[in-house]
Chain A
Amino acid sequence: MKEPFSPPGRGVNGSDLMELDDVKFVRGPSLTMPRDWTFEFETVALPHAGGLLRYALHLEGEKARAEDLVQDTLLSAWRHFHQFEQGTNCKAWLFRILKNLHSKQMRRMTRKTEVSLEENEPRLAAPERISANQQVRDAFARLTPEHQEVLQLAAVEGLGIREVADVLQVPQGTVMSRLSRARASLRSVLQTRAFVRKEGL
């Protein structure tokens, strides 16, 4: 050990610092290393990637863009995972992020491409040649985007009414009435199919 040097009476301020004129200070923010959330994120958030992609496909209508949206959503969620309130529904939180990102993208888009309803409207395939599930998907595809969205979030992905309202940024009452109308609509399309009568819907 070398001699201890303790200039008596000298504190942080004053002459001590004067000696340091020739020392170049490297200044920067002090960053407390955050808890490593990777494990929690992988177990709590990533399992919802499938649901996010289904929803992104509904919003984007095209796989590559939907995948990009899901990627942006998950990375954003990962960066902000410390803000996720443990114990709340992570799936709803992720869907909210995805919807926000998508809305931002939409606002940024200067040109909005007009889609012809005629061309876009899926045709109902002949019932005898397709599966019951395909018929349901066809029927679903004939609903308005608004009805598809609310059914997808509530019925397919299992989000609660409050959570759907949060994702869509509309009042709960709106979600409930929209959901009722969407169910009625889907039922009405399905009732044209033979199998529906069999299933008793």
Chain B
Amino acid sequence: MNCESVQDLLPLYLSGELTGEGLAAVQHHIKACEACAQSLSADRQLDDVLRTAMLEHSPDVSAVLQRVHGKMATSGWKRMLHVRSLRLAALAAMVVLVAVLGVSSFRARQVQRTTAMAAANDHYSDLVLLRHPDWAYQPDDVARFMLEEFSRQDLLAVITPQGAVFEKVRLCNLGGTQYAHFVFRTGATETSVFLIPNGQAGNKRESIHLADAGHGLEASGFSSEHMSGVVVGGKGQVQTQEIAKRLGGMF
């Protein structure tokens, strides 16, 4: 490699991006050629001098950082909107319905049934059809949410179907109403448990069982003033009613 080619490669060499044959050739040349070695050393020194001088005179960034922190703290919800807009999902709508309606007993049962069917739809579309690979959640978030909304240590045990293992959980959010979606696995079978805080208004305790919730699924739900929970699993494969009953015993 001649001096001219080496000079061309020096910027890459200086930035540490030169690899393989190019790197070996430059190193080899520099050992033998004093002029190129000096040129490299001078460039390196020039960069050092410039960096030192510029960094000595760095502007104060604290004001802008403070502004950024402030904006970050207040725009959490907006940030979420930017992340991912999924398709319309029935359950989310139902969650809002459950959370905001001051429902009569009659209507509560309608909501119950619709919620259970919507949960089955969500389970079907999210787990059976789409198999979302990227459940976006952070265990800390879920833990915080669960502690705030359902402060029971043994809750996970209660909602775990017999013989199943906990697989994953995500927090879902619609219009400020959060709910947790747990997934348990028994072999190839997945069971979803949806836990929604702030159940129906009033002291009504309602339960529901849909032996056929569509898509070959069954769903069972329970709600009280504290929470609503829906369990969705393969028809006849999971004791969804049993889990809903246990939830009922707890809340």
Contacts and interface: CB of A to CB of B under 8 A. Distances in A.
A151 B97 CA distance: 59
A31 B175 CA distance: 9
A199 interface: yes
Contacts, number: 231
B59 A29 contact: no
Interface in B69-97: 71-72, 75, 78-89, 91-93, 96-97
A24 B98 CA distance: 11
A11 B214 contact: yes
Interface residues of A, number: 75
Nearest to B124: A12
A162 B84 CA distance: 30
A8 B46 CA distance: 83
B137 interface: yes
Contacts of A158: 51
B20 interface: no
Contacts of A159: 15
Contacts of A87: none
A95 B150 CA distance: 44
Interface in A149-201: 151-152, 154-156, 158-162, 175-176, 179-180, 183, 186-187, 190, 199-201
B88 A27 contact: yes
A10 B63 CA distance: 62
Given A38-B72, A183-B43, A54 B245 contact: no
Interface stretch (A76-84, A99-107, A108-116): A76-84
B61 A49 contact: yes
Nearest to B11: A176
Given A75-B71, A175-B11, A133 B45 contact: no
Nearest to B9: A176
Interface in B198-251: 205-215, 220, 222, 241, 245, 248
A20 B82 CA distance: 33
A99 to B, nearest CB: 17
B241 A4 contact: yes
Q: Which of A30, A67, A137 has the most C-beta atoms of chain B within 10 angstroms of its own C-beta?
A: A30
19 contacts: A11-B213, A12-B215, A23-B97, A23-B101, A23-B111, A27-B93, A28-B88, A29-B174, A31-B173, A32-B84, A32-B172, A34-B83, A34-B136, A35-B138, A36-B141, A74-B64, A134-B57, A199-B49, A201-B45
Given A4-B207, A53-B59, A140-B50, 13 more contacts: A4-B208, A5-B109, A6-B211, A20-B110, A28-B88, A28-B96, A29-B174, A33-B141, A34-B80, A35-B136, A50-B61, A160-B15, A186-B46
